[in-house]
Amino acid sequence: MGRTVQARSELVKSLGLSKGKPVSSGALALTYAALSDKDNAFLWLEKAYAENSSFMTSLKFWTAFDPLRSDPRFVDLLRRVGLSQ
């Protein structure tokens, strides 16, 4: 909510603390999308897809992904998950 620099700092800190521990790829994708970091959002979405994460079943409904919806990578991902329109 307007504190992007602080959010990015906390995200990097959290990723550092999680080394060797499971991290929700979907949650990280959501966080990066909320920070308008499309490339990292897609990186983590692809990881969630590869992990068959249940997060992917709700991909279509997260408003944080709205800025990604027109990107061909998102359209392709929805198709692969079986959520295309």
Count: domains in the chain: 1
Q: Which residues contact 51 (CB under 8 A, 6 or more apart)?
A: 25
Each residue's pLDDT tens digit, 40-64 = 999 999 999 999 999 899 888 889 8
CA 25 vs. chain centroid, Å, equals: 7
**How crowded is residue 20: how many other Cβ atoms within 10 Å of its Cβ?**
5
- Give the pLDDT confidence of 61-76 residue by residue, as tens digits: 889 899 999 999 999 9
DSSP assignment string, 45-79: HHHHHHTT-GGGGGGGG-GGGGGGTTSHHHHHHHH
Residue 32, helix vs strand vs coil: helix
Q: Which domain holds residue 25?
A: 4-81
- Dihedral sign from CA coordinates of 16, 37, 5, 48: negative
For 4-52, the pLDDT digits (tens) are 666 666 666 666 655 666 778 888 888 888 888 999 999 999 999 999 9
